[in-house]
Amino acid sequence: MKFAIWGFQSDVEISRHVTEILEVLLSDGHEAYLLDSFADLLDMDNPKVHVITKDQIPRDTDFIISIGGDGTLLSAAQAVMRTPIPILGINLGSLGFLTSLERDWRSGLGNIMKSHYHIEERMVLNCRLEFPDGSEETLWALNDVVIERADIFNLLPLEVRVGDELLNRYLADGLIISTPTGSTAYALSAGGPIIDPSLDAILITPISAHTLSVRPVVLTGEKKIYINLATSDSQASLHIDGKNTREIDSSLRIRIRPSSYRIQLVVTPDNTFYEKLRKKLHWGQRSS
């Protein structure tokens, strides 16, 4: 089997885990690939490991192993967005809603190599930026598309349409458009609901809306959403999965819809979505 190791941070703990993972993979006769920038951070030079750029990940790779937290896994998702390569996340961060294994990954990785796992396909958003000269740029988000005000002293006016119909004219610090996967990320902290990741749905969550009656809205997954900055002097920042930032203004129209691409996440039997909710959010536990 072929495993590609993905990460973009390094410390003593991360280096130790990567070294141990590579030892396990190589001792079992698997092929191991390591992202070149990650290898440089780790100061790792193992002749048995193939060091590659993100554009050189073999399409027949069996798994990408993401070493870090949810942010690391999101960056791995961007790299394999248009390929069928499953992502196995090992959480060395704090929360780890997207990852499958924790710091005690050894038995879990062994079970995965014995095919004791299943794949969850996660919805992806297609975000198209439409410029006034007719040009376009397309971005993809596993978690969310976030539009935030650039001016810290003024609220951001946003007009949102669902298809041809006006949904609302928001006045807020910004807007979060998320997948069910992203419902446990920024949208959750902004007061949005938790959505089962197996659903095809789009969540629109305002950030600190001027009017208290403005609430999060859940749309069916086939909808197309169009967003404009509502005044000519408005400026904002657009973020894709917390990265890929673009500065935007009122001359731009944003179209968001479900993508035909799906991200494949490796899930172990003892770390399902509901299990994560109970563990990560401490549900059912009495406060001391």
Asked whether the beta carbons of 95 and 69 are under 8 A apart, the reply is: yes
pLDDT score recorded for residue 288 = 59
Which residue type, as a one-letter code, is found at position 206? P
Q: Write the pLDDT tens digit of every residue in 130-188.
A: 999 999 999 999 999 999 999 888 899 999 999 999 999 999 999 999 999 999 999 99
pLDDT digits (tens, 9 = 90+) for 69-80: 999 999 999 999
| Residue whose C-alpha is closest to residue 127's, from 234, 265, 244 | 244
- Tokens encoding 100: 């499958």
Residue 130's nearest CA partner among 225, 16, 243 is 225
Q: What are the pLDDT digits (tens) for 257-281?
A: 999 999 999 998 888 899 999 988 8
Q: What is the C-alpha separation between 76 and 96, in angstroms, rounded? A: 14
pLDDT for the residue numbered 93: 81
Taking Cα atoms as reference points, which of 72, 75, 54 lies closest to residue 4?
54
The residues annotated with a catalytic role in the active site are 70
Domains of the chain by range and CATH? 2-117+268-280 (3.40.50.10330), 124-261 (2.60.200.30)
The span from the CA of 21 to the CA of 44, in Å, is 13
Tell me what pLDDT residue 52 has. 95
Of 174, 168, 183, 178, the closest CA to residue 258 belongs to 178
Percent of the chain surpassing pLDDT 70: 99
Percent of the chain past pLDDT 90, that is, above it, reads: 84
Angle between helices 106-113 and 12-27 (to 10 degrees): 30
287 pLDDT above the threshold of 70: no
Give me the pLDDT at residue 181, please: 97
Would you state the pLDDT for residue 146? 98
- Please state whether the predicted TM-score (pTM) of the whole model is above 0.85: yes
DSSP string spanning 79-136? Answer: HTTTS---EEEEE-SS--SS-SB-S--HHHHHHHHTT--EEEEEEEEEEEEE-TTS-E
